[in-house]
Amino acid sequence: MTTNTKNKIKVGVVGGTGYTGVELLRLLVMHPMAELRLVTSRSEAGLPVADMFPNLRGHTDIAFTVPDSTALAECDLVFFATPNGTAMTLVPELVAAGCRVIDLAADFRLKDSALWQQWYGMAHSCVDMLAEAVYGMPEINRAAIATARVVANPGCYPTAVTLGFLPLIENALVDDQHLIADAKSGVSGAGRGANVPTLFAEAAENFKPYGVEGHRHLPEIRQTLALSAGHAVGLTFVPHLTPMIRGIEASLYAVLKQSNVDLHALYTERYVNEMFVDVLPAGVTPETRSVRGSNICRISVFQPQQADTVVVSAVIDNLVKGAAGQAIHNMNIMFSLAETTGLQQVAMLP
């Protein structure tokens, strides 16, 4: 454990007991410029963090504490890895105290409070902050993230789907009223709480769609793509649960307005300066295992039979690029660090 904390970012984590929380802690304890000050949990207060998560043994001696806004306000940055609806109750006080915030839940992702209530089933208690909050996808909002007081970390599915569609939407190359996103996620995306559908005997050797009539990430994806298109887009989004722990693969379909475009060149040029987006060579398909434990999104683009349909495949680790890793990327931008700081882990194989 390092003891030299000079010039380090003083960090607090609210709600560090879930899969996103422990992934965030794993990245923070290895980050050379982050000083982890406190980790909160009402249910586990007093328990050493490393007792719950033995992978952190030897990296932190912090114990969980009850959330205390005064203590949190002494941090430079507070991450919320909490259920939806928690961050919005504490953020105004923290921001007023000069603390910056990254929320890994959905509290500040949607700009329309009525839409938020429709999809999340509760009234938004911090409507004034919705307009100010910056959607934390560095590939599209880097400049705004740098000066943001509140960053809304994107959802996992929206990260893969948006990065996959973005070059097509930005260049108005497809019929954006009939987009299709067929996405698959590992069970860790459902969280760490006890839940029958994610029990081993239920999820193993099984594959199923869910949320077909409407998933909470649908309005988030539509909102982001609409901003890029300059108008509302039409999207059918179907997520699936797969029998793996980590990973998301998004197969994306759209009809081209013109079929003589060099799509591989288009994607390569769009992401050439993005250190966490890897456009694979033409004809190579991405695999979720190639990004496991890393902050990379790998993308391939295809035009089967050179016809008018484009197929994009994007893979991410839902807990890293889809959550904690993207949050650390946002932190690096907010505090003028090199964007790759603490995020250069090579993916784990097998």
Integer Cα distance of 130 and 100 in angstroms? 15
* Residue 127 Ramachandran class (φ > 0 left, ψ -120 to 50 alpha, else beta): alpha
* Alpha carbon distance 66, 51 (integer Å): 17
In the chain the domains, ranked by start, together with CATH numbers, are 9-132 (3.40.50.720), 156-317 (3.30.360.10)
* Letter string b/e over residues 274-302, b meaning 16 or more CB atoms within 10 A of that residue's CB: eebbbbbeeeeebbbbbbbbbbbbbbbbe
Nearby residues of 230 by Cβ (< 8 Å), 6 or more positions away: none
Q: Helix H segments across the chain?
A: 19-30, 49-52, 69-73, 87-96, 113-120, 127-130, 138-147, 156-170, 200-203, 217-229, 263-271, 325-334
* Per-residue DSSP letter, 79: E
With a CB cutoff of 8 Å and minimum separation 6, the contacts of 332 are: 338, 339, 340, 341, 342, 343
Give the helix ranges, DSSP H, for 181-216.
200-203
Let me know the angle formed at the C-alpha of 192 by 189 and 198, rounded to the nearest 5 degrees: 65
User: 7 is written with which tokens?
Assistant: 């010039």
pLDDT in tens, the chain (350 residues): 334 456 899 999 999 899 999 999 999 999 999 999 999 999 999 999 999 999 999 999 999 999 999 999 999 999 999 999 999 999 999 999 999 999 999 999 999 999 999 999 999 999 999 999 999 999 999 999 999 999 999 999 999 999 999 999 999 999 999 999 999 999 988 888 778 888 888 888 999 999 999 999 999 999 999 999 999 999 999 999 999 999 999 999 999 998 889 999 999 999 999 999 999 999 999 999 999 999 999 999 999 999 999 999 999 999 999 999 999 999 999 999 999 999 999 999 98
**Residues of 120-142 as b/e, b for ≥16 C-beta within 10 angstroms?**
beeebebeebbeebbbbbbbbbe
Q: Is 156 a catalytic residue?
A: yes
Query: Which one from 75, 99, 126, 156 is the annotated catalytic residue?
Result: 156
Q: How far is CA 225 from the centre of its chain?
A: 16
Q: What is the DSSP letter of 174?
A: B
